[in-house]
Chains A and B, each alone.
Chain A
Amino acid sequence: MTLVKTNIGRRAFIKNTSLAGGGLILGFSWLNSCKPKQAAEMAAIEMPKEWFDINAYLKIGDNGVVTIQCPNPEFGQGVMTSMPMIVAEELDIAWKDVLVEQAPFNAELYGNQFTGGSRGIMSRWAGLRMAGATARQMLLEAAAHAWQVPANEITTADGVLSHEASGKKAGYGEMASAASQITVPEEVPLKAVKDFKIISRSKKNIEGDKIVTGKPLFGIDYQYEGALIAMAAHPPAFGMKLKSFDGSSIINMPGIVDVFEINTYEEGYEQNYFDTNTFTNLVVIVGKTTWEVMNAKKALKVEWEPFSESTFNMNMFGNKREVTIPSGLESTEMHNAKMAEYASKPGREVRKDGNPDAAFKNAAKVIERSYSCPFLAHNCMEPMNFFAHVTEDSAKLAGPLQAPGFIEGTLSARLGLPVEKIDIEMTRMGGGFGRRAYAHYAVEAAVISKHVKAPVKLVYNREDDMTFGIFRPSYHATYKAALDENNNLIAFHVKAGGIPETPLFANRFPAGAVDNYLAESWEINSNITVGAFRAPRSNFMAGVENSFLDEVAEVAGKDPIQFRLDLLLRAKDNPVGDNNDYEAERYAGVLKLVRDKSNWQNNIDGKYRGVSAYFCHNSYAAHVLDIVMEDGKPKVENVVCAIDCGVVVNPDAATNMAEGAIVDGVGNALYGGLTFKDGSTVQSNFDTYRIIRHSEAPKNIDVHFVENEINPTGLGEPPFPPVLGALANALYKATGKRHYEQPFAVERRIVG
């Protein structure tokens, strides 16, 4: 047991307590706005007659049932289950007595309600434990007062307070009213990891029932009386803008209400980092039903024209800069030629250890390889959409988004409304992968609603979703390694760049493990908008670094796992430089675990194995991937995965997410790619953009977690990036061919 100060998220506790100071409150207004029916539909839990708000994260019913708010939006990473598990653990309630609601967007109560960067559990861990522990302490004190016994003699278990000496017992429900009026304690005890009863014990997805029965959960399902449907036409190519349109051509089509243009941002607007948006001038069609609006959109007569170079101001979390949008209609061919050109020149030096020049000159062997990857579209299964009802003095919005806190200010500026007048409801998201951190579509919906003076749901069709931009950038990396006559790695050089950003992480492995090290970087500007895509930059660097290390190990005549372990041992015992991002021992830990679990030493006939390991988002992941040849074609048979992300809150759900990350990695390595011609994406729907399917997925995946008591770190992203390297290395074993350009299946159609 540890005593901790209740400083994290204390505002949420105090604010609510002062509100609840009058006594018994039957739920706040914000709870009423949050789908009140939802809780009643959940499971077969008997609902209480009265609820007592303890703090912003939880309320306790008179019958002992507890409703816990999930502060972060859900896009499939399982926070609606795992975050309440953390609260319930410290509250010491039985999981069967817990109901869960998605918290409203309220930065004052819940801080940064951001889903992304694999930061959810990591950043909420302390606060959620405190929310539960504080409530437990208040219940203890209420019981101590009622029973006239010292609070420290009272124990709790599964929602029951007990005082052994007097034999007194009470359920949380009986003490909830009194507890809701107790002053928030300054200090509360937290459980020791060994005493956890809910955390690290798998719980089923709290919304599973609703998902398998088709209940309205997602933004696109949002229903609102009198809501119209809107769709927007955007330029068909990057580098183009709206010239003119003829609304009269479609205004008389069935169900069409209005056709007009909007500017998502006003001229001179200073964009924040998540306001990324190429197409800010759109033609909007508003109508009564989706099908009617889709038909009108197809029939719309609109002309587009090339734009000239322009600039806008960006405020990147206080760091202001001017961003240039170049003109021109770009193509993949042009991108690849430019990347090859930049890669052939010296880059911008980011890190240098020792004397790489001399080491390469004196090397016995030098290995140099270059790698590239294309742009990727996120392709969330639920296309972008948002509901908005904007009136003269308020705005109500609802829909799927990862970062409501970032779009609130944008909405406020665009609508001329103070943030207090803007209500954003976070719906469940049909995937996110980073795309929904850029919620320009919410602003579009709001501007449309304001224009037509009606509630509106803006819906992107798949083509809109896939071609509007905010893609994973196209990257390139050149690696060079020097071996001495004893096959020791004596120098390492990485030069990485991309369009329009560099993927380089100069301080990641093998930095710190090699005496002579050089990292260089370059960028090529573009008018194609990019943004975070599951494990940004790592999603390229991990795969290619691990492919390269595999080649170096082979030339050095070493086992690829032992080769990495030797380097990691060096980095642990005698690191080069003092700015290395990773903990060498934990890195080696996942490699050792995956070596054991995959029986790495036992090479099985007919199976071709590749290994890979990476550190990103504060966690470590390693994979061993097995390929078998079926009818002369390689198939991914099995993947063994080892992850160190500290304490795992919900192991089976965490396993599910790692399995998904592995499938996603295999899919993107083999098939993922968005290419450009004349500024347009060549792919615009799933007939041309290939997403991995059932028959192409690994047949079996085994996920193992390193058991430790370290506070949880990221999980949604870390298992994804290294898969691409494990696959490339296994393919080499199976086919004898190294893969340097993603997607592999397009480079040479050998995997099917």
Chain B
Amino acid sequence: MADFNLNINGKTQKVEVDPNTPMLWVLRDHMKLVGTKFGCGIAQCGACTIHLGDTAVRSCQLPVSAVGEQQITTIEGLSENGDHPVQKAWLEVDVPQCGYCQAGQIMTASALLKSNPNPTDTEIESAMNGNICRCGTYTRIKKAVKMAAANSANL
């Protein structure tokens, strides 16, 4: 067990856990931030995607001890009022079915648009390929990513 001061969604939070504990479980069990989802535990499905700095990472493979001072953003902190362009596009396209994977999809998509504001179809597919949607909402996800890109460009 060790103490960690984590910067999560703009707030510094203290947690006492085993240093090997993945951020996924720190968020879900200790911070009660359950928007980040458990899917596979081996970084294959993307349901647990969060931002470490500006980069989308699989929180199930990120030990709390590796975070240090870096900023962590979860789906709960992506925007204050749920109005990030990606979230708005997701609602406009009405992407979700069961919804379980969508936080991970949105976190991957928002990181993509931050580094590449106007991605091609192939770039979207490539960036989103690590996020499984078992309901098969892929065509809508792509549409929503493009809409978010277009709307961000107009801001």
Do A and B come from the same complex? Answer: yes
Q: Report A's interface with B, CB cutoff 8 A.
A: 75-78, 204-205, 207-209, 211-218, 220-221, 223, 229, 254, 289-292, 294, 379-383, 428-433, 459, 461-462, 652-653, 656-657, 659-664, 667, 685-687, 691-695, 697-701
On whether the beta carbons of B94 and A381 are closer than 8 Å, the reply is no
How many angstroms from the CA of A667 to the CA of B29 in the assembled complex? 33
On whether the beta carbons of A205 and B94 are closer than 8 Å, the reply is yes
Q: How far is the CB of B17 from chain A (nearest CB, A)?
A: 8
Identify which of A217, A432, A661, A695 contacts B136 (C-beta below 8 A): A661
On whether the beta carbons of A694 and B136 are closer than 8 Å, the reply is no
Q: How far is the CB of B25 from chain A (nearest CB, A)?
A: 4
Given A213-B87, A462-B39, A660-B136: A431 touches B98 (CB 8 Å cut-off): yes
- A sample of 6 cross-chain residue pairs with beta-carbon separation below 8 angstroms, ordered by A number, consists of A205-B96, A213-B75, A254-B18, A291-B29, A656-B95, A664-B136
Q: How far is the CB of B152 from chain A (nearest CB, A)?
A: 16
Residues of A within 8 A of B91 (CB): 204, 208-209, 212
Q: How far is the CB of B122 from chain A (nearest CB, A)?
A: 8
* Besides the known contacts A660-B135, A695-B129, A697-B138, 8 further A-B residue pairs in the complex with CB atoms under 8 A apart: A212-B87, A218-B100, A220-B38, A289-B30, A661-B136, A685-B42, A691-B134, A694-B129
How many angstroms from the CA of A218 to the CA of B78 in the assembled complex? 20
On whether the beta carbons of B25 and A212 are closer than 8 Å, the reply is no
How many angstroms from the CA of A229 to the CA of B22 in the assembled complex? 16
On whether the beta carbons of B97 and A289 are closer than 8 Å, the reply is no
How many angstroms from the CA of A382 to the CA of B134 in the assembled complex? 10
On whether the beta carbons of B137 and A656 are closer than 8 Å, the reply is yes
The 10 closest A-B CB pairs, nearest first, are A214-B35, A663-B136, A430-B100, A76-B98, A214-B75, A76-B97, A660-B136, A211-B99, A686-B44, A697-B138
Q: How far is the CB of B123 from chain A (nearest CB, A)?
A: 11
A-facing mask of B18-47, CB < 8 A → 1, else 0?
100110010011101111111111101101
Residues of B within 8 A of A380 (CB): 98, 100, 134
On whether the beta carbons of A431 and B96 are closer than 8 Å, the reply is no
Least CB separation from A662: chain B residue: B136
How many angstroms from the CA of A646 to the CA of B95 in the assembled complex? 24
Given A212-B90, A695-B125: A430 touches B98 (CB 8 Å cut-off): yes
On whether the beta carbons of B40 and A686 are closer than 8 Å, the reply is yes
Residues of B within 8 A of A697 (CB): 136, 138-139
How many angstroms from the CA of A428 to the CA of B37 in the assembled complex? 14
Residues of B within 8 A of A432 (CB): 98
Identify which of A76, A212, A215, A289 contacts B135 (C-beta below 8 A): A76
Residue of A220, A291, A379, A659 with highest tally of chain B CB at under 10 A: A291
On whether the beta carbons of B126 and A695 are closer than 8 Å, the reply is yes
Q: How far is the CB of A433 from chain B (nearest CB, A)?
A: 8
On whether the beta carbons of B87 and A382 are closer than 8 Å, the reply is no
How many angstroms from the CA of A612 to the CA of B11 in the assembled complex? 55
Identify which of A78, A209, A290, A687 contacts B97 (C-beta below 8 A): A78
Q: How far is the CB of B76 from chain A (nearest CB, A)?
A: 5
Q: How far is the CB of A466 from chain B (nearest CB, A)?
A: 9
**Count of residues in B whose CB is under 8 Å from the partner chain:** 61
Given A290-B28, A381-B45, A382-B100: A694 touches B40 (CB 8 Å cut-off): no
Q: Report B's interface with A, CB cutoff 8 A.
A: 1, 17-18, 21-22, 25, 28-30, 32-42, 44-45, 47, 74-76, 78, 82, 87, 90-91, 94-103, 106, 121, 124-126, 128-142
Residues of B within 8 A of A215 (CB): 35
On whether the beta carbons of A381 and B98 are closer than 8 Å, the reply is yes
How many angstroms from the CA of A294 to the CA of B29 in the assembled complex? 13
Q: How far is the CB of A174 from chain B (nearest CB, A)?
A: 33
On whether the beta carbons of B37 and A382 are closer than 8 Å, the reply is yes
Residues of A within 8 A of B30 (CB): 289
Residue of B25, B35, B100 with highest tally of chain A CB at under 10 A: B100
On whether the beta carbons of B76 and A381 are closer than 8 Å, the reply is no
On whether the beta carbons of B99 and A254 are closer than 8 Å, the reply is no
On whether the beta carbons of A223 and B140 are closer than 8 Å, the reply is no
Residues of B within 8 A of A663 (CB): 136-139
How many angstroms from the CA of A662 to the CA of B139 in the assembled complex? 11
On whether the beta carbons of A694 and B141 are closer than 8 Å, the reply is yes
Residues of A within 8 A of B1 (CB): 254
Q: How far is the CB of A633 from chain B (nearest CB, A)?
A: 14
Residues of A within 8 A of B40 (CB): 462, 685-686
Residues of B within 8 A of A214 (CB): 33-36, 74-76, 103
Residue of A76, A218, A459, A701 with highest tally of chain B CB at under 10 A: A76
Residues of B within 8 A of A659 (CB): 136-137, 139-140
Least CB separation from B79: chain A residue: A213
How many angstroms from the CA of A380 to the CA of B97 in the assembled complex? 12
Given A290-B25, A659-B140, A694-B142: A429 touches B32 (CB 8 Å cut-off): no
Least CB separation from A687: chain B residue: B44
How many angstroms from the CA of A697 to the CA of B121 in the assembled complex? 12
On whether the beta carbons of A75 and B98 are closer than 8 Å, the reply is yes
Residues of A within 8 A of B126 (CB): 695
On whether the beta carbons of A667 and B42 are closer than 8 Å, the reply is no
How many angstroms from the CA of A700 to the CA of B98 in the assembled complex? 21
How many angstroms from the CA of A657 to the CA of B136 in the assembled complex? 9
Given A431-B134, A686-B132, A694-B125: A291 touches B25 (CB 8 Å cut-off): yes
Least CB separation from A658: chain B residue: B136
Q: How far is the CB of A211 from chain B (nearest CB, A)?
A: 4
Given A381-B47, A660-B137, A693-B132: A216 touches B97 (CB 8 Å cut-off): no
Least CB separation from B96: chain A residue: A211
Residues of A within 8 A of B103 (CB): 211-212, 214
Residues of A within 8 A of B140 (CB): 656, 659
Residues of A within 8 A of B94 (CB): 204-205, 208, 652-653, 656
How many angstroms from the CA of A646 to the CA of B29 in the assembled complex? 45
Residues of B within 8 A of A667 (CB): 136
Residues of B within 8 A of A701 (CB): 139
Residues of A within 8 A of B131 (CB): 694
Q: How far is the CB of B139 from chain A (nearest CB, A)?
A: 6
Residue of B37, B98, B106, B128 with highest tally of chain A CB at under 10 A: B98
Identify which of A291, A294, A381 contacts B134 (C-beta below 8 A): A381
How many angstroms from the CA of A625 to the CA of B56 in the assembled complex? 34
Residues of A within 8 A of B132 (CB): 381, 686, 691, 693
Q: How far is the CB of B149 from chain A (nearest CB, A)?
A: 16
Residue of B25, B102, B133 with highest tally of chain A CB at under 10 A: B133
Residues of A within 8 A of B44 (CB): 685-687
Given A204-B91, A685-B44: A381 touches B39 (CB 8 Å cut-off): yes
On whether the beta carbons of B32 and A223 are closer than 8 Å, the reply is yes
On whether the beta carbons of B141 and A430 are closer than 8 Å, the reply is no
How many angstroms from the CA of A223 to the CA of B30 in the assembled complex? 12
Residues of A within 8 A of B45 (CB): 381, 686, 691
Least CB separation from B39: chain A residue: A381
Residues of B within 8 A of A383 (CB): 38-39
How many angstroms from the CA of A693 to the CA of B128 in the assembled complex? 8
On whether the beta carbons of A428 and B99 are closer than 8 Å, the reply is yes
On whether the beta carbons of B97 and A700 are closer than 8 Å, the reply is no
How many angstroms from the CA of A212 to the CA of B140 in the assembled complex? 14
How many angstroms from the CA of A87 to the CA of B94 in the assembled complex? 22
How many angstroms from the CA of A215 to the CA of B36 in the assembled complex? 10
On whether the beta carbons of B82 and A213 are closer than 8 Å, the reply is yes
Residues of B within 8 A of A76 (CB): 96-99, 135
Least CB separation from B104: chain A residue: A381
